[in-house]
Structure 1
């Protein structure tokens, strides 16, 4: 029963991590496309709050429950699919703090434009591009992790199975 309860929490945390993360990402993309500093400042503030208070704790819960589930299942952290997903998760996590910093910077740049009644500065586009591509990398990693969790295979094992099977 402990294993199933933890697995449930692990899956719910994954849904929150992926869902809120993707929602925040798409909302900030949509807001940025308006080029309206007021819209961007408002949406960026909400995105920073959601990512700080919901998405980040969901990631922490993922690590904790994942570790306990591996132990309860009698697997080692060096089991190939476990290790692969852990490495990808840590790489995605390493993008997370810079993403939060960039989101906050986008928010501040938009607020500055609102306060001075001016358009967004040229620097906004550069920061936005960094944030956008970090998001692409992060969510690509998340898609791969979900694939690994569902199949219990590394991507190269799955590709091998599809090519030879």
Structure 2
């Protein structure tokens, strides 16, 4: 029964991590495309809050429950798909802090433009593009991790079945 509880928590955390992360990402993209600094500032403020207080803890729960599942099942940490998932998870996590920092910068720049009635500076769009591509890389990694969680295979093994 412990296994089922842990697996349930692991899946729920994955849904929160992926769902809130993707939702925040898409909302900030949509807000930024509007070009309206007030809208961007408001959405960026919410995105920073959600990513800090929901998405980040979900990632922590993922690590804890994933480790607990390995212990309960006796599966070795060096199992191909587990090890690859961890490597990708660490890489995605390494993108996370820069993403949070860039989101906060975008928020401040949009708030400044809204407060002063000026257009968004070119620097905003430069930072936005970096943030956008970090998101593409991060979510690509997350898609691979979910594939490995479901199939219990590395992507290469999955393609050869």
Q: TM > 0.5 between the two?
A: yes
Alpha-carbon distance in structure 2 between the residues aligned to 1:4 and 1:115: 51
Partner of 1:108: 108
Alpha-carbon distance in structure 1 between the residues aligned to 2:23 and 2:38: 19
Moved over 4 A (4+): none
Alpha-carbon distance in structure 2 between the residues aligned to 1:57 and 1:154: 26
**Count of aligned positions:** 161
Partner of 2:13: 13
Alpha-carbon distance in structure 2 between the residues aligned to 1:110 and 1:81: 41
Query: Normalising by structure 2, what TM-score?
Result: 0.99
- Gap runs ≥5 in structure 2: none
Alpha-carbon distance in structure 2 between the residues aligned to 1:151 and 1:25: 26
Partner of 2:120: 120
Partner of 1:143: 143
1:71 matched to 2:71? The reply is: yes
Alpha-carbon distance in structure 2 between the residues aligned to 1:114 and 1:143: 36
Query: Normalising by structure 1, what TM-score?
Result: 0.97
1:83-137 deviation line (CA, Å, top 9, x unaligned): 0001001100000000000000000000110111100001011000000000000
How far off is 1:60 after superposition?
A: 0.2
How far off is 1:67 after superposition?
A: 0.4
- Gap runs ≥5 in structure 1: none
Q: CA RMSD in A?
A: 0.5
Alpha-carbon distance in structure 1 between the residues aligned to 2:13 and 2:153: 21
1:87 matched to 2:121? The reply is: no
SS at match of 1:120: coil
Alpha-carbon distance in structure 2 between the residues aligned to 1:114 and 1:144: 39
